Amino acid sequence: MAITSPQVVPIAEGQHQPDAGLADWLAVIAGAIGAFMATLDIAIVNTALPNIIGEIGASVHEGSWIATAYLVAEVIAIPLCGWLERAFGLRRFLLTFVVLFAAFSLLCGVADDLTTMIIGRAGQGFFGGALIPTALTIVARRLPLHRRALGTAIFGGTVILGPVVGPLLGGWITDTYGWRNIFLINLPIGVALCGLIAAGLPRDRSDWRQLIHADIAGVIGMSLGLGCLTALLEQGHAEDWFDSSLIWTLLIASIAGFCLVAVGQARAQTPVIDLRILRGRQFAAVFAISFMLGAGLYGTAFMIPQFLSHVAGDTALQAGGVVFVSGIPAIVLIPLIPWLLRHVDLRLGVAAGLIFMGLTCWLDSGLSSASGDNAFTVSQLARGVGQVLTMTFLNQAAINAVSPALAADASGLFNAARNLGGSFGLALLSTFQERRFDLHVWNIASSFDGYDPFASWVAATQDPGATIAATQQSIVREAMVLAFNDQFLMLAIALGIVVPLVLLLRRGNNGAIVHAH
């Protein structure tokens, strides 16, 4: 039987509010752990991907679908979770999804072929992805106004830590115990999480009418549109974009899906997600900032390990340690977040976070071929501060921008925007890196053409062929560094462009991240 506690309801200003009980905090912790598991499982698997594809006999290109399947399923689930939660009831919804997330984790852990692994990862992505926005719903329903800042701080900290802890933890588990254990570790965590949910959340009613009278066009369209768009972005670079029939198929399917969403918005009595909230300038600003935040978060998490691997020669575990540095500020700042939310204008908090993140990208745009782990220490610490500020205050802005009844839909769109921004960012960065690399190779190499002292020096060496090969290797290395610098500079500019959008936001009220509903 669940532990009972006072139900959170909106009350007038100045009226006494019941404090949160043990059950309330157990529920908040459960939501945070669920969100942490979902975000962790993206980064933790990426580290072990070479080991996985080697053992199951897949090529590098085929293995990329292991990561893509998770992201596609996750981005489908996030905007649908508000509708599913209303249909099943919060407690039953969470218990069911945690059990299924653990079951698909087990499937990944025992997989011996690519098909089984992709099915397992898709299941993980769908049932894990829904746990992310639901964590904010728990904070809204279980905590009184004066405790929500702390609840959201816990949630924000776990969501930030997942991507930065993942590479380090994934590398360690893979090297020490084998890659299958990065999936099997979810089983005991899932059991503990079910216990916390059962103890912290009371039994609530299901509303099966949500399924009977569902916005079928919207559900199918949202799944098809977002899923195919994410797959297009994830695989576009590998498939050479629109030279591939697969990319054209995904594009057409995505457009058809969004057309179905429009039909659902126009005809359904209760759309699967109310997109009218995007008409409000405040939530539209939150959506745009979240989109660019995703590009910054996923982009830097992708580029730094790539630079350390290809230029500095680091192992995956060493690169994971550098990524982890950005999580240190989250650990340090979490106790201060409730105070910050009460006393700092959220517009200032979001702007400061974006500026911090932009400046760190600008700092990283000055790398050289001699740069190693230490070159990222200052920027990673500052990046961590920027991520904490932006994520925390933007959570508040997202819910403050809509009415309490639309909080679940707002949370779904807010989180979906971040994931889509990450997918768009990675797709553009991959293509931009290749083109800038080719340009820099040509520019550097052309400077040697017709340069007589260089030709004379090569001819005078004992092994001219080896000298030319070493020179070519040096050219490639320098061009790669310059391409990475261009990528970091592009991200810095992109993050700076959205800073003025904070003027469209409105100040929060006493640190209230979310409203009871």
**73 plus 154 within the same structural domain:** yes
Looking at 254, 271, 288, the residue that finishes a domain is 271
Residues 282 and 267 in one domain: no
What's the chain's length in residues?
517
Whole-Å CA distances, 416 to 132, 226, 293, 502:
10, 9, 12, 19
pLDDT band at 3 (very low <50, low <70, confident <90, very high): very low
Mean pLDDT of 346-354: 90
Q: Per residue in 248-271, pLDDT tens?
A: 888 898 898 888 888 877 777 777
What six digits make up the tokens of 485? 């610098």
Q: Total structural domains in the chain?
A: 3
Kindly state whether residue 432 falls inside one of the protein's structural domains: no
| Of 226, 255, 271, the domain-final residue | 271
Residues 242, 311 within the same domain: no
Choose between 84 and 250: higher pLDDT: 250
Q: What is the pLDDT of residues 13-51, one digit of tens each?
A: 444 456 666 777 787 788 888 888 887 877 777 777 777
- The per-residue pLDDT for 5 is 33
465 inside domain: no
CATH number at residue 409: 1.20.1250.20
Same-domain check for residues 394 and 285? yes
Per residue in 320-341, pLDDT tens? Answer: 778 788 888 877 887 787 788 7
In a shared domain, residues 141 and 180:
yes
* The last residue of a domain, from among 195, 212, 229: 212
One domain, residues 151 and 220: no
- The percent of residues above 90 in pLDDT, for the chain, comes to 8
Same domain, 135 and 194: yes
Residue 450 domain-assigned (yes or no): no
474-509 pLDDT tens trace: 777 888 888 889 989 999 999 999 999 988 887 654
What is the Cα–Cα distance from 70 to 276, expressed in whole angstroms?
Answer: 28
pLDDT over 80 (residue 234): no
pLDDT of 303 over the 90 cut: no
DSSP-based three-state secondary structure for 144: coil
- Domain assignment of residue 458, yes or no: no
Q: Do both 252 and 333 map to the same domain?
A: no
* Inter-CA distances, 203 with 95, 146, 270, Å: 11, 25, 25
Whether 475 is covered by a domain: the verdict is no
Q: Yes or no: say if 384 and 330 are a contact pair by the CB < 8 Å rule.
A: yes
Answer yes or no: do 128 and 78 share one domain. yes
Asked if 295 contacts 491 with a C-beta cutoff of 8 angstroms, the reply is: yes
Asked, for residue 443, whether it belongs to a domain, the answer is no
Model confidence band, residue 359 (pLDDT cutoffs 50, 70, 90): very high
Per-residue pLDDT, averaged over 126-132, amounts to: 83
Q: Is the pTM of this model over 0.85?
A: no
Residues 179 and 258 in one domain: no
Band the pLDDT of 75: cuts 50, 70, 90. confident
Query: In terms of residue numbers, what domain contains 229?
Result: 215-271
Please tell me whether residues 206 and 229 are part of one structural domain.
Answer: no
Backbone angles phi, psi at 206, to 5 degrees: -90, 150
Examine the domain organization and report whether 80 and 229 are in the same domain.
no
457 domain residue, yes or no: no
Amino acid at the residue 33: I
Contact 357, 383 (CB under 8 A): yes
Question: Token match 């610490």: residue?
Answer: 381
* Domain assignment of residue 449, yes or no: no
> What does DSSP assign to residue 385?
H
